[in-house]
Structure 1
């Protein structure tokens, strides 16, 4: 019976029905479910943290960072652990998720939601990229869906296409890093990223989920001079 999930909150979100669940009691695992489909949890967060690490490792002065997709806050939390980071702008589509984390429903997110360096906007990341000032960011980290090959929300396909990637490149200072999380490999994304930003690196992280090994991918490029 302990493995049965407890639904902590449920509501109609932008992408459909959103549910926050917990397994294993107060100190257990928190899960986000969209339209009955698993999206993320707090059990395995290494690749969310890796998304931040690729920027911190590759940029000498990552002062201002844009994160597309709040999740449970692990990418942002990793950024905040680096004293070089002065500001993190977070764009999250689902207002329910922001409200739940602000209300303390996921304890691990408390530090992120209360840090004065964090500025959260409820919006579509594509609109935020289109509206961003040129060369504003040292890093842009996108974890808005499960990647181009396994979408929870069909509209998010455009996040991985050349117009959005070019908008992200324009918002990056020269030498800035654009990194995207993906649940599956995508040669098409790698090509579009190379054309729009710069030379591409693909990182593969193998994690264990429910007794089986799964490969997750991060695609990153550093903005070249125009």
Structure 2
């Protein structure tokens, strides 16, 4: 991506330095000097939510793990399916940017009355709540096999997967974004949650983005993604 963008904001967090940068009409987010994401695409992040919402009931409760640049949240608020959208985001600065610089990217979604933002680590919050959701859409770090922050790996391991499963309603869907194929993780989803479908989204360079969807069986049935 280069380092040609103009710094819009720079903050110190518990995880180091977080920078919001502008490059032309686009924004970029950089963590400790490592490029994380930008506003140039968003196809796979939108698909993450869109595909999950096709599988849930009307007036669904939806959890989005990771606010990012807001593509997933924008897709959720554009739909009439969710009655409630809970967004977990650990970085307070990122939430503040979505009330200002990034509001246009997420469609000013934080003003939607269905949206509740929780400024907390998603693993800690999941362990402390008994809330259940019809869809959990997870876009944390770069996915199961390529995490920038070591602690995020626990979200994708067997214990983390069990925790996510337990926060799904019967028939609920877990949708997971990954920057690359993660076959071992897909097998874990199938074994621990239910049938898995895989969606590949080509990108200009490198491996396709991947979205995995796993559906928790309704009690007394086999469950299906069909």
Q: Scaled by the length of structure 2, what TM-score is found?
A: 0.90
Aligned residues: 216
SS in 1 for 2:101: coil
Check if 1:97 corresponds to 2:91.
no
**1:49-128 aligned within 5 A:** 49-61=46-58, 63-102=60-99, 104-106=100-102, 107-128=104-125
SS in 1 for 2:37: strand
Check if 1:150 corresponds to 2:146.
yes
Q: CA deviation at 1:153?
A: 0.7
Q: CA deviation at 1:141?
A: 0.6
Q: CA deviation at 1:14?
A: 3.1
**Distance in 1, Cα, partners of 2:193 & 2:211:** 15
Residue among 32, 37, 45 paired with 1:35:
32
Residue among 184, 190, 193 paired with 1:194:
190
SS in 1 for 2:160: helix
Unmatched tracts of structure 1, length 5 or more = none
Q: Scaled by the length of structure 1, what TM-score is found?
A: 0.90
**Distance in 2, Cα, partners of 1:117 & 1:14:** 29
Indicate conservation of the 8 Å contact 1:62/1:139, yes or no.
no
Indicate conservation of the 8 Å contact 1:20/1:32, yes or no.
yes
2:5 corresponds in structure 1 to 5
**Distance in 2, Cα, partners of 1:79 & 1:146:** 20
Deviates more, 1:10-19 or 1:170-179: 10-19
In the TM superposition, what whole-angstrom CA distance separates every residue of 1:7-37 from its partner, at most 9, and x where no partner exists?
Answer: 000111232210000111xxx0100101111
Unmatched tracts of structure 2, length 5 or more = 220-226
1:47 corresponds in structure 2 to 44
Residue among 166, 169, 179 paired with 2:165:
169
1:216 corresponds in structure 2 to 209
In terms of fraction of residues, the more helix-rich structure is 1
CA RMSD of aligned residues (A): 1.6
**Distance in 1, Cα, partners of 2:170 & 2:217:** 6
SS in 2 for 1:148: coil
**Distance in 2, Cα, partners of 1:148 & 1:13:** 23
